[in-house]
């Protein structure tokens, strides 16, 4: 039986060329696997036909948008995942779901090797290969662009020589990766970090400086899961999609940052994640009402580490799995409603309501009805500051 190689297929130039190139170089049959995580563009049937026309013996196309939202975006939302306190892990979240489908296809089709189109300078090579190694340690991996120094010029020439049915001359000044959780843009003039992004960079968001009326939205959560928008029941995918449109119309979720890549270099990235940023803002606000203080403080540490693990390609690691259990526990009481105003690039919470609220009006008020016993505060302050006071006295004596 001829050896088979499963290729992560996007439908673009590089992976279309990779089908024939891998077949010629290895003698193996290529099975193309395309996973829809909400990246838009061409429909799955068109992508499947192109893969077959480019020489794939099989083309597997999967609509994984619901799966991606429920099993990958939702955990990120509950972890308030923001790498370097800013980036909502747009690309990083999609890689493990693609890896899962690649491994499943490899097992089904009897493949011994998996291939991807990543370069050697990015994070995605790590996310793909570490993920594959965690789910199927016996699978081998080849990366033509990285391992054989493929350039766009080489790919265009290769496609032209073999009359491949793809657009061989279309070029973009940017490298774009997008899914339902957001959009990532890099390269081109953005590589000069003094250059400001221009409006042509953006697709998911409108210019926040343009005048428009504010949009008020109410997001309902049940145990950390967004279940309704303005009282209308939604799935997680629908919640993200609706807020992508509504928050995006106000320019919410634009990020321009220099981030620390796993491979050790700094990279300038421009992101758009209107739905993700709006939902994380609402979720954080509801947690401030429903999660106990010490648990909330520790969870913030967990959130940072969780984000780093996912960014670094360790979605399937034991530590990530253990942190998932902790995060899930913290969501037991995260139920209620958050009202936000969407306007001028910001999602601003203006109202909070929850039956699980830890906010006690009678304890918090300074007006009549106050039930807080202020007579207890004096002793509390004295005991709370006692260690510092003792240390200060010691230091005064030592320096006297």
**Phi and psi, residue 212, nearest 5°:** -160, 160
Does 123 belong to an annotated binding site? yes
Does 209 belong to an annotated binding site? no
Does 127 belong to an annotated binding site? yes
> Residue 128 to residues 61, 102, 122, 175, 393: CA-CA distances in angstroms?
18, 10, 11, 18, 58
Q: List the catalytic residue out of 124, 254, 267, 307.
A: 124
Does 115 belong to an annotated binding site? no
**95 included as an active-site residue:** yes
**Given the DSSP bridges, would you call strands 266-272 and 254-260 parallel, antiparallel or unpaired?**
antiparallel
Q: List the catalytic residue out of 175, 288, 317, 354.
A: 175
Does 175 belong to an annotated binding site? yes
> Residue 372 to residues 132, 309, 358, 380: CA-CA distances in angstroms?
56, 43, 15, 13
> Residue 202 to residues 312, 345, 368, 380: CA-CA distances in angstroms?
26, 13, 52, 53
Does 271 belong to an annotated binding site? yes
Closest by alpha carbon to 311, among 38, 93, 134?
A: 93
Does 224 belong to an annotated binding site? no
Does 10 belong to an annotated binding site? yes
**14 included as an active-site residue:** yes
**357 included as an active-site residue:** no
Does 138 belong to an annotated binding site? no
Rounded CA-CA distance 255/329 in Å is 30
Continuous H helices in the chain: 13-26, 44-53, 65-68, 74-78, 90-109, 124-135, 144-147, 152-161, 236-248, 274-290, 293-311, 318-330, 361-364, 377-384, 386-399
Does 14 belong to an annotated binding site? yes
Does 366 belong to an annotated binding site? no
Q: List the catalytic residue out of 14, 115, 254, 335.
A: 14
Does 369 belong to an annotated binding site? no
Task: Write out the binding residues for L-citrulline.
Answer: 87, 123, 127, 175, 259, 271
Q: Which residues are designated catalytic?
A: 14, 95, 124, 175
Task: Write out the binding residues for ATP.
Answer: 8-16, 117
Task: Write out the binding residues for L-aspartate.
Answer: 119, 123-124
Task: Write out the binding residues.
Answer: 8-16, 87, 117, 119, 123-124, 127, 175, 259, 271
């Amino acid at each position: 039986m001829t050896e088979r190689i499963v290729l992560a297929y996007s439908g673009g130039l590089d992976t279309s060329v990779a089908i024939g190139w891998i077949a010629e170089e290895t003698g193996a049959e290529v099975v193309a696997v395309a996973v829809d995580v909400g990246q838009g563009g061409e429909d799955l049937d068109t992508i499947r036909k192109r893969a077959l026309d480019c020489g794939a013996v099989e083309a597997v196309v999967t609509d994984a948008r619901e799966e991606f939202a429920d099993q990958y975006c939702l955990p990120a939302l509950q972890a308030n995942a923001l790498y370097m306190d800013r980036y909502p892990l747009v690309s990083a979240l999609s890689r493990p779901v693609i890896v899962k489908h690649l491994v499943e296809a490899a097992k089904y089709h009897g493949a011994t090797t998996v291939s991807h189109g990543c370069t050697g300078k990015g994070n995605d090579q790590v996310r793909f290969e570490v993920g594959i190694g965690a789910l199927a340690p016996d699978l081998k991996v080849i990366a033509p662009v990285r391992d054989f120094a493929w350039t766009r010029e080489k790919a265009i020439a290769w496609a032209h020589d073999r009359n491949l049915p793809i657009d061989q001359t279309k070029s973009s000044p940017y490298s774009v990766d997008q899914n339902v959780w957001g959009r990532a843009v890099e390269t081109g003039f953005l590589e000069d970090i003094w250059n400001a992004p221009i409006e042509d960079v953006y697709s998911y968001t409108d210019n926040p400086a343009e005048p428009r009326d504010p949009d008020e939205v109410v997001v309902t959560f049940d145990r950390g899961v967004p279940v309704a928008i303005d009282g209308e029941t939604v799935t997680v995918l629908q919640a993200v999609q609706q807020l992508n449109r509504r928050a995006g119309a106000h320019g919410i979720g634009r990020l321009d940052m220099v981030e620390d890549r796993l491979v050790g270099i700094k990279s300038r990235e421009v992101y758009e994640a209107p739905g993700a940023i709006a939902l994380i803002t609402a979720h954080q606000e509801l947690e401030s009402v429903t999660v106990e203080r010490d648990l909330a403080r520790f969870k913030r540490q967990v959130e940072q580490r969780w984000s780093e693990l996912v960014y670094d390609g360790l979605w399937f690691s034991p530590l990530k799995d253990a942190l998932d259990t902790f995060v899930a526990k913290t969501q037991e009481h995260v139920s209620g409603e958050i009202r936000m105003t969407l306007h001028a690039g910001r999602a601003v919470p203006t109202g909070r309501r929850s039956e699980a609220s830890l906010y006690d009006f009678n304890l918090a008020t300074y007006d009549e009805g106050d039930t807080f016993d202020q007579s207890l505060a004096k002793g509390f302050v004295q005991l709370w500051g006692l260690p510092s006071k003792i240390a200060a006295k010691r230091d005064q004596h030592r320096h006297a």
